[in-house]
Structure 1
Amino acid sequence: MIRKGCPDEYPINLVVNGFEIAVFQLTNQDLEDWAYGYLYSEGLIDGADDVEAVHFYEGSGTLQVSLNNSFDPEQMFSKKKHYTAGCGRGVTFFSMTDVKQFERVQSQQVYDLSYLLKKRSEFAQNCPLYLESGGMHGACIVHEDGSIEVREDIGRHNAVDKIIGHALRKRLQTEQLVLLTTGRVSYEMLSKAAKFGFAVIGSRTAATKQAVQLARFLNIEVVGYLRGKMATVYTSAGRIRNDVTGPAAATKPIERGEVLPLFN
């Protein structure tokens, strides 16, 4: 495959109720979805109804958001910052200890491993920015009827925020949704999914030990290395039915007794 061009990234200044949050490096696409998803993931909004308006001023690269709720910037920035790992590195104000206060997922939905592998392949074929330039990340929601919705960005965290923002704006319920991502599932990626209530998260690559520990605590199923006929099921919430034969589909959970470090 010969790709044309390079992945795009732009400095986007996020301003909420007149207060400048930060400048983020983003792909200049689906920015309204990103704003909803980021603000929700960081606890600045509880849902789409908290957002009054979103305006993007391309000339200055400013994304201006007006909220209906009582946003307190001093309270937000009094929290300790945690810098996220990997490409498109950002900042989260939720520690692992904070995330462990989220509600545990109660979904009883069960998925065949072959179904997740099929949807991961379909997801890969519906990432136009990646197919054009490479070097992009994507996030995907799989609906109950099998249809998918994809968002892309230079950063894996941004892509997940975009798809969560889309789900918020469309008032989607998480009980029958699966989240797929191209990026590594680290604790802050898991926290974004946990806050929205996804019961199953799948990735084409690995999950960290901290993310798996957190997923087990919150009753979330995490499946990594979804490639071809290969997969690693890190958790044992009972939502994945292994209908793929052979060692490539083996389940390899981390030992439950293993003591893992926590972020404070």
Structure 2
Amino acid sequence: MIKEFEIIKCTVDNTFETIDKVVTEVPLTIVINNIEYITIMCTPLYMEELAIGFLFNEGILKSKEDIKNMKLVKDKNIIFYIDLKENINYSILDKNRVITSGSKGSLYFKSMDFMKEKKFDNNIKIHKNEIMNTMKEFFNKSKIFEETGGVHSVLLKSKEIEVFREDIGRHNAIDKAIGYLILNNLNVRDFIIYVSGRLSSEMVSKISKSGICFAISRACPTSLSLNLARNMNMTLIGFSRGNRFNVYSGSERIDFND
């Protein structure tokens, strides 16, 4: 997952040759029922989960039951073959797209109407101290980031289960974690999501479409993501660092008692 390169490092006082560690990036092509659907640039970890999470968040599959069979082939190219059952809506397939590591990865503006109609009623409740403690642990989990500074991280947490995933693409990291839930028949609605990057409207869109009503970040939201979260009754927390955080929406899901 990490490669080493000879580089020249320059500071105010010195210039010298050294070895730098860089995160690996590869293309992953998804083939659905023998139709090449999309190529995603990603970190080569948990690629089956990435593909399944991506297809779930795109609305192409709804559960593990939609999958007839699947196979990841690592040869000259990395290809994920998946056969889906007959009840799949093939009209939504937009063939031969390429998603870069920095791209939002989904049909974002088409989901805006969906978000205007959605209202979360999840009865998740969490104490403020658990939010602070979990974020501290989450911040120190990524060894790849520690060595390269080149990945985004996601933690999905329920009362019993934690799923940590990382990738060069922030949307990929979410897809990997969601893919794990789908493949293990876990209810997405039971989980809270912790993310390393900012909560943009794209991220809130992706998280809400998956069924998660509670998102926490070390970074900031945007005005649009905040308004979307409030409209959907979604809990949005930003600047969760140390022993503090800001609640932007959905405060009823947080226990503030000492």
User: Does the TM-score normalized on the shorter chain lie above 0.5?
Assistant: yes
1:11 matches 2:11:
no
Letter in structure 2 aligned against 1:127: S
> 1:56 and 1:40 mapped to 2: Cα distance?
17
Instruction: Output the amino acid matched with 1:14.
Output: I
Q: 1:127 aligns with which of 134, 137, 142?
A: 142
Cα separation, partners in 2 of 1:102 and 1:14, compared to 1, 3 Å = farther
User: What is the 5 A alignment of 1:1-264?
Assistant: 5-59=21-75, 60-77=77-94, 88-95=102-109, 96-100=111-115, 103-145=118-160, 147-242=161-256
SS of aligned partner of 1:6: strand
1:23 offset after TM fit, Å? 1.6
Secondary structure of 1:129's partner?
A: helix
Tell me the amino acid that sits aligned with residue 190 of structure 1.
V
Alignment-mate amino acid for residue 125 of structure 1: N
Q: Deviations over 1:142-191 (max 9, x none)?
A: 1214x522011001000001111111112222444211111222223212
Q: Is the 8 A contact 2:54 2:179 kept in 1?
A: yes
Counterparts of 2:116 and 2:243, CA distance in 1? 35
Deviations 1:201-238 (A, max 9, x none): 11111122222222112211010111112322111441
Question: Matched residues in 2 for 1:87 and 1:242: separation?
Answer: 38
Alpha-carbon displacement from aligned partner over 1:39-94 (angstroms, at most 9, x marks no partner):
0101101111112222222111212221114445443339xx9x99x962143124
Structure 1 stretches of at least 4 aligned residues deviating more than 6 Å after TM superposition: none
- Give the alignment's TM-score, normalised by structure 1: 0.80
The whole-number CA distance in structure 2 between the counterparts of 1:169 and 1:40 is 11
Contact kept? 2:41, 2:101, Cα under 8 Å: no
Instruction: Tell me if structure 1 keeps the 8 A contact 2:37–2:94.
Output: no
Could you tell me the TM-score, scaled by structure 2's length? 0.82
What is the root-mean-square deviation in Å for CA atoms of aligned residues?
A: 2.6
For 1:130 and 1:52, locate their aligned partners in 2 and report how far apart those are by CA, in whole Å.
Answer: 36
The answer as to whether partners of 1:12 and 1:26 remain within 8 angstroms in 2 is yes
Look up the match of 1:251.
Answer: none
Unaligned runs of 5+ in 2: 1-18
Whichever structure has more strand as a proportion of its residues is 2
- Considering only CA atoms, is the larger Rg found in Structure 1 or Structure 2? 2
CA distance in 2, matches of 1:174, 1:34: 15
Offset of residue 104 of structure 1: 2.1
Aligned residues: 237
Residue aligned with 1:36, SS: helix
